[in-house]
Amino acid sequence: MLNSDNFRTITQLRLNTLEILNTVLRENKPIYIISRSKPQAIILSISEYGKLLELKRENKRLQALANRKQNIEN
């Protein structure tokens, strides 16, 4: 969910690192880090990162199955 509450500048990160980390953990939402008016990085909880990795693994598995099916059909 993107809204202004989810964005911090690199200076805010430097000055308020612990507060930003606590926000990420408490709200379980990512924080986007902005540098020179452009998003440069995202801070997210370990649990959310784990979910992303699992989705990536599942996507690879499904892609491999689709490729096998296509090879069988050809």
pLDDT digits (tens, 9 = 90+) for 30-41: 999 999 999 999
Instruction: Supply the pTM of this predicted model.
Output: 0.73
Does 35 share its domain with 52?
no
Give all strands of the β-sheet with 38-43 in edge-to-edge order. 7-9, 31-35, 38-43
Q: What is the CATH number of the domain that holds 33?
A: 3.40.1620
State the Cα angle at 1 between 13 and 37, rounded to 5°: 45
Instruction: Output the pLDDT for position 73.
Output: 81
**Could you list the residue range(s) of the whole structural domain that residue 62 is in?**
46-74
Does 33 share its domain with 57?
no
Low-confidence ranges of the chain (pLDDT < 50): none
